[in-house]
Amino acid sequence: MSLLLKLLAQRIALGLLLLFLVSILIFAGTLILPGDVAQQILGQSATPEALANLREELGVNDPPVQRYFDWLGGLVQGDLGTSLTSGKAITESIGRRLGNTLFLAFWAAIIAVPLAILLGLLAVRYRERWPDKMISAVTLASISVPEFLIAYVAIFFISVRLRWAPSVTTINDSMSLGEKLHTISIPIAVLTLVVLAHMMRMTRAAILNVMQSAYIETAELKGLRMFTIIWKHAFPNSIAPVVNVVMLNLAYLVVGVVVIEVVFTYPGMGQYLVDHVSKRDIPVVQACGLIFAAVYIGMNMIADIVSIVTNPRLRHPK
C-alpha cells in the first residue's frame, strides 16, 4: 500500500473511531436528561400503573448498556429507531427534514464560499487600504453579533418594514424553486453573514502568509500585476488552509442551523430536534445528534484528505 493510501485509511479509521466515541457520549448525555417520556405521553393525570406499563413497553427500564448496544446494532443496519411519542420510524420522519436542512445549507454555501474567497483576495490586493479595512470591519462585526440577533434584526427590517420576504419560512414540494428561494432568502442571508466572516479572514491570512515567499517577490520583480500574482501564484499555494476553513464552515451550515431554523420556524433537522427535546423523545434526540456529529466529522475528514492530497509535506513524515 502506498503512503498516500495508508494516510487516507488512517484518517478514515480515526473518523469512524471518533464517531463511535461520540455515539457513546450522545447516548450517555441523553440518559441524564431530566423528564419522563412516559409522563409526557400520558400527561399529569396518568396513574403509576399506567406509567410503569408504558415505560416497560417503551423499553426504558432496560439496562443502559443493553439499550446502547441495541441502538448501535440498529444504527449499523441503517435503523435509527422508533419515535417514542409518535411510534413512527425515525428514518422515515427525518429524511424530509434532513433534505430541507441540506437545501438551506447548500444555497447558503453557494453564496458564502465564492464571496468569502473573492473578498479575501480583494482584502489582500488592497491590504492596509480602505477596501481591506472596510471588509475587515464588516466581517468582525458579523462575527461578534450572535446569529439569532442578526436573524431578528433581518426579520424586522426585511420582512416587517420592507415586506420583501416572509419571516416564517415554511416550504413544501408543491412550491417551485424560485418560490422556495424567495421563502428562505432571509435565513440564507443570515447564514451567509455568519460563515462569510470566518472564511474571508482565514483566506486573507493564508494568502498573506504565502505572500512572504521568495517566489512571490520574483513574480513582482518580473512586473506581473498584483492581482495576477495573488490569483495565479499565492492563492493556489494557500489552498489547503482555505479548504480546511471552508469545510469547517460547511459543517457549521448543517450542524449550526438549529438556532436559525427555530427562529424562522423552518422545517429542518434543527426544528425537529428542538421539538422532540421538549417532548423528551430520546431516540429522536439521539438520532439527530448522531447525524449532526457524522456530518461534522465527515467534513473534517474530507478537509484532512484534501490537505494530504494537495500538500506533499503532509505525505512524508519528518
Span 119-161, pLDDT tens digits:
888 888 888 888 888 888 888 888 788 888 888 999 999 988 8
Instruction: Check whether 311 has a pLDDT greater than 70.
Output: no
Report if pTM > 0.85: no
Residue type, 154: A
Whether the CB-CB separation of 308 and 315 falls below 8 Å is answered with yes
188's CB contacts (< 8 A; 6+ apart) are: 104, 107, 108, 111, 181
Right CATH number for 91-280 from 1.10.260.40, 1.10.760.10, 1.10.3720.10, 2.60.40.10?
A: 1.10.3720.10
Q: Tens of pLDDT along 60-95?
A: 667 778 888 888 888 888 888 778 777 788 888 888
> What residues have CB less than 8 Å from 260, skipping those under 6 apart?
104, 147, 148, 151, 187, 190, 191, 266, 270
Domain boundaries, the chain: 91-280
pLDDT at 43: 64
Q: Which residue has the higher pLDDT, 262 or 33?
A: 262
**pLDDT tens by residue, 214-256:** 777 787 778 788 778 877 777 777 777 777 788 888 888 877 7
